[in-house]
Amino acid sequence: MSTAQQFNQALTAAQGSSDTLVLIRLREGTYDAFAASVPFAYAAQTPNQVLDISGGWSGDGAACTTQRPRPALTQLVGIASSPTLTLGAASNGGQVYVHDLAISNPNHTATDTVGGACLFVAVDAGSEARLERLQVHDCVARNTSFASGFFNNRGGTLIVRDVAVANGLGRRNGGIGVTTSLGGTSSLAQISVARAMAFDGNPNDNAGILLNTSDAASRIALSNSVSWGNSGYLNNAGASVDVSDVAVSSFYGTVDLTRVHRGSLRGTADSDNAPGSGDPGFVAAGDPRPRADSILVDSGIANPAGGSGVFDADGATRVQGVGVDVGAFEYVPSDTIFRNGFDVPPSPDSFPSADL
């Protein structure tokens, strides 16, 4: 499909379908929810239904026969009243798989939306959500707590990997928040968060990456990830809010950090193996791709919880060097050829700066 209206119709049809496998393939291009008049949303209703949403498709006519796993080729843009994309994997054995998309929403103004500006995913017991190869950028939520992503795992399985988040602004959290309860398991690997900003709310929640567990049986693992350059933004009183790069709020469950590079950590994880600090060597502020001299290059651990994936958030093959790079992006030398089957590597896709 190639229009926002078609995408919205496909999501609605999937909810009412008895099919156990639904594939939604989006052709390369921009899908503006304003054009569809309603937000992009799906809530599982059919037991054991698998929904696969992917971008980067092309082909003759209307056919989607060839895919390039590069998120920047397929852009979802949100509206003022809701998150750009809302997904619910209900407690009926359902699975939601979302990959190869770029998601933004600089226009969010609503005050009562739970999921914030860009991406809201809810997972219930017995179900699974897998988010892979996403670029989430320019998510501005001035009136809600979370901007770029909020993932609520209530007893299911959540896997998030090769996801880059940049230039987000929310009241409490400009980056991503993960809450896990009721014995759920959330595994995040190869995540990059940069220039996430907050201007209000509880300092314990103001972070580039917020990890929260609420019962003893729940677990979150964050591995091979970087959160850096996140900051407070002036609030209505003209005061700047303190923002940490990673915040852990775990009173009962387990939060494990493995090779997580950050400038600051609020709270205490149950384990914190091979942490990193200091300038990570991003290409630019708000663009978390690593430079050639970055400490992130080749410094990740093998086989992190959730996996490293086959491609990074730009579509480059993992691994490029002697080891996997930390974060959503692999450093690709300028003389590399045959990247993803192309003779010449495409120019890096840049994160636009948010108009704040």
The pLDDT of residue 349 is 45
Average pLDDT over residues 301-311: 96
Q: Specify the residue for token string 């937000």.
A: 39
pLDDT (tens digit, 9 = 90+) per residue, 159-187? 999 999 999 988 888 899 999 999 999 99
Strand partners, 132: 99, 161
d(CA 109, CA 169): 12
Average pLDDT over residues 42-60: 92
Q: What share of the chain is helix, strand, coil (3-state, %, to 5)?
A: 5, 45, 50
- pLDDT above 70: residue 348: no
- pLDDT above 80: residue 355: no
- pLDDT above 80: residue 241: no
The pLDDT of residue 131 is 98
* Nearest by Cα to 333 from 300, 293, 303, 301: 293
The pLDDT of residue 112 is 62
DSSP conformation letters of 20-81? SEEEEEEESEEEEHHHHTS-EEEE--STT-EEEEEEEEE-STT---EE---GGGEEEE--TT
The mean predicted confidence, pLDDT, of the chain is: 88
Cis status of the peptide bond prior to 283, with omega within 30 of 0: no
The pLDDT of residue 333 is 87
The pLDDT of residue 35 is 73
* Host H or E run for residue 221: strand 219-228
- pLDDT above 50: residue 344: no
